Structure 1
C-alpha cells in the first residue's frame, strides 16, 4: 500500500474523455444560497444526513496521506457488492462492520474496544451502522436488525425481519427505517421503535417486488421517503405518514432491467440515484417523474454525493468514472477515470472528494476540477465509502483471504503525511 500523488490511469482518463480544463480556473460556480440538509441531533449515520448527501463541509482532505493503522480481516468474502463503512462515535472513535458478520468498535488510535457478533454467515454485514449517544443499530444478511449497547457491545434487541438486510438503516430520531430482502425474491420497507425493536410500520401491499439493497433517504422538506429495488423501481412514500405516493420505473427495455442497488440521495425536490440501465437519474420527489438522466458507459450502483455549495452531484459508474454533474440539469462538469468499476459512494468534503475503486485504489480529487490529489494502492478492492472525521480518513478494502493469508481485507486509518 502506498500513497502516490501522480495522476492515476492516464490512458483510461484519455480514453474516457476526462473533460476538465483547469487552466482557466474552477469550472463550477458556487451557489449563492446553498441548501441545508437534515442532521438529527446526536445521531451519526451512513451518509450523514437523512437525505444521504455524503457531505462533510467541515472536513478537509490532506495534500498527502500516510497509514496510521490497519485492522486486519474485516472483509474476507468474495461477494462483490459494496462493503460497509465506518460510523463515528461520540467519543471520537468509530464502529466498523465487516462481511465476517462482526461489528467492531475502535478508538481513533485503532484500539479494539469490543466486538459484537451477528448470527449471519456468508455475506455478513454490508450496511453501515447508525450510532446514537448510547446505541448502535445495524442490519445483517441474516435478515435481522440489531441494537447494541455503544459502551459495551452487548445486544439490546434483535428483530428478525426477512431473508437479508444489505442496506443501511436510517434514523430520524423517532423511527429506524430499513429496507429488507426476502428470498422469493421480494422485499419491504420497515420502521422500527429504536428502544424495543417493535415494528411500527411495514408496507406489505406496495412492497418492492425484488430485493431492495438500496439505502433509503428521507427528505423532510419534500415530505418523502424513497428507496430503490432490484425490480428497477424507485418507490416514494409520503413522510412522516408513510403512504405510497408514486413509483418510478427505470428503462424497462434494457437487458439489466434497471436495478437500483445503491443508496438514494435527495436534494432540492429531486431524488438522485444510479441504475443498472447505465444511467444516473434525477426524479421529481413530488410526483415521481423524471427530471433528467445521464447515460454512462456502464451500470451504476453507487450512491451519489451532493455538494449544495456548488449545486453538484458526484456519482460513479462501472465504466470506472466519477462524474460531477449539475444537480439541476445533469450537465457534466467533469469526469475522473479509474481502471475499474466504482461501487462505493464518494465522500464530499470542503475542498475535495474521496472515493474508492475496484482497481484497488483510494482516490482524492479536487471537487472543482476533478484533478488528482493523491492515490493509495491496496491488495484488495476499495468499495466501502470513506469516512472523513477529525482530519482522518477511515475505510475498508475487500480481499478474500487466500490460504497463505497474505491478503485479508483490512480496514484503514489515513492521516496527513
Structure 2
C-alpha cells in the first residue's frame, strides 16, 4: 500500500487537482461532437452511500448535493487563480474569521463563480465530461451540459454571460445561464490546461502530444473566430496568463509573451522551467517558478529580468507583495525587489482574499492567516482517502468568498462558512 507523503508528490497532487484534466488522456475514436442535455431538475433525495472498491476502508465522500445547511456566499471567482493573470488574489472579499464545515459532498472539481452560479465538472461516479451549473449555497445542480466523452479540462472560465472550457483537442463556449453550446474551436490536440480570458479573447495552449506541434491560439470570445496562432516550439501544459495586452505561456525551455491583439512575439526568454508551469502576469511583471526552485520575475514589456528569489509553485500576487512556497512554507516578498518582509506561514499558498492568505500542507490541512497581523485565524483538516491500494491526502483548490470558502480535497468538496455558535 502506498502513501503519497513526500513534498514533491504533494506539489504534484496540488497542481493536478487545481489544473487537472478529467479523462484527457483517453480518446473516443476521433469523435468530438458535443451532446447537449436538457435542463437538469435537482432533487432533494437523501444522500447516498456506495461500497468501496476493495475489502479495505473506502473513505471517499459519496453524499450527493444539495448540502445542508446552506452557505450564504457572495462575490466572484471567475477564472483559475481568480483572473486572467492567475494572480490568485481577490481584494474585494473577506473570508470568515472563524469557520466550520457546513457540508462535504461528492460535488465535482475546482469551481468558478459569477456571483449567481457556480460552475465545475461532475464528481466521482458521474459523467466527468459534463459542465455543471450549481447553486453556490448548496451545490445543487441547476443544469448540466455534456460535451465530449473523453472529458474536459478543469476548471472552466466564466466571462459575463459565457463559460469557456477546453477539452483535450478544442475549446467550447457555452451559455452561462442555460444548456447551450455557443461555439466550439478547431481541433488542436494536446490541450492540458484551462484557457485564460481577457479583453474579449480566449487564449488556449495546445500541444504536448505525440506528433502535434505545440502552439498558442487566440479566439474571439463573441463568436469563436480564430484571431491568431503562435508556434511555441516545445511543450506547454500549464495555463496561460493574460495581462498588459499580452498572453504569457511557459514551455519546457522558455517563457513566451505574445501580443494579444496581433499574435506577434513580444519576447521569448530561455528558462529552466517545467512545461507544467503556470505563469502569473500583471502590468508590472511576469512571474514563473523554475526547476531550480527559483522564482523568476521578468518585465512584461521585453522580458528583462527584474529579480529572482527562492520559490516554487505558482505565486499568489497581491498589491505590494506576493506569496510563494519556500521549503513547504509560505514566504511573503516585496513585489519591487523580492525582499522577504514577513514571518513565514505554514504550508504552500493557494489564494488570498483581502488580508487573508489560504495555505495548505501535505497532510490535508487548510490554514487561514491574517497577513497584516501575521497570525493564524483557523485550520480546517481534510481527511485522507483510500482508493483501491492508494492512500492520498491534500488540498487541491481553495476558493475564498464573502461568507464562504470552497475546498476541493482528496476526500471531496467541502463548503466552509462562518461559525454558527
Query: Per-residue displacement from partner, 1:158-177 (whole Å, max 9, x unpaired)?
Result: 33533332322222242211
Q: Does structure 1 retain, via aligned residues, the 8 Å contact 2:346–2:361?
A: no
What is the alpha-carbon distance in structure 1 between the residues aligned to residue 173 and residue 278 of structure 2?
22
Give the C-alpha shift of residue 329 in structure 1.
1.0
Give the equivalent residue in structure 2 for 1:393: 405
TM-score under structure 1 length normalisation:
0.71
Residue number among 347, 356, 363 corresponding to 2:351 in the alignment: 347
Query: Per-residue displacement from partner, 1:320-363 (whole Å, max 9, x unpaired)?
Result: 2222111111112232233xxx4xx6211122111344322222
| Residues 130 and 273 of structure 1: CA distance in aligned 2, closer, same or farther (over 3 Å) | same
What is the alpha-carbon distance in structure 1 between the residues aligned to residue 209 and residue 240 of structure 2?
20
Q: Does structure 2 retain, via aligned residues, the 8 Å contact 1:59–1:388?
A: yes
Q: 1:174 and 2:200 equivalent?
A: yes
What is the alpha-carbon distance in structure 2 between the residues aligned to residue 187 and residue 227 of structure 1?
11
RMSD: 2.6
Give the equivalent residue in structure 2 for 1:320: 328
What is the alpha-carbon distance in structure 1 between the residues aligned to residue 199 and residue 112 of structure 2?
17
Q: 1:107 and 2:135 equivalent?
A: yes
Residue number among 290, 294, 304 corresponding to 1:289 in the alignment: 304
Give the C-alpha shift of residue 383 in structure 1.
4.4
Q: Secondary structure at the match of 1:386?
A: strand
Q: Does structure 2 retain, via aligned residues, the 8 Å contact 1:219–1:225?
A: yes
Query: Per-residue displacement from partner, 1:24-80 (whole Å, max 9, x unpaired)?
Result: xxxxxxxxxxxxxxxxxx9932233333322211211222211223330625xxxxx
Query: Per-residue displacement from partner, 1:301-331 (whole Å, max 9, x unpaired)?
Result: 32x21111xx1011225x3222211111111
Q: Does structure 2 retain, via aligned residues, the 8 Å contact 1:125–1:166?
A: no
Q: Secondary structure at the match of 1:328?
A: coil
Q: Does structure 1 retain, via aligned residues, the 8 Å contact 2:234–2:253?
A: no
Q: Secondary structure at the match of 1:396?
A: strand
Give the equivalent residue in structure 2 for 1:249: 270
Q: Does structure 2 retain, via aligned residues, the 8 Å contact 1:233–1:259?
A: no
| Residues 173 and 394 of structure 1: CA distance in aligned 2, closer, same or farther (over 3 Å) | same
Give the equivalent residue in structure 2 for 1:35: none
Residue number among 280, 292, 312 corresponding to 1:277 in the alignment: 292
What is the count of residue pairs matched by the alignment? 329
Q: Does structure 2 retain, via aligned residues, the 8 Å contact 1:66–1:414?
A: yes
| Residues 127 and 269 of structure 1: CA distance in aligned 2, closer, same or farther (over 3 Å) | same
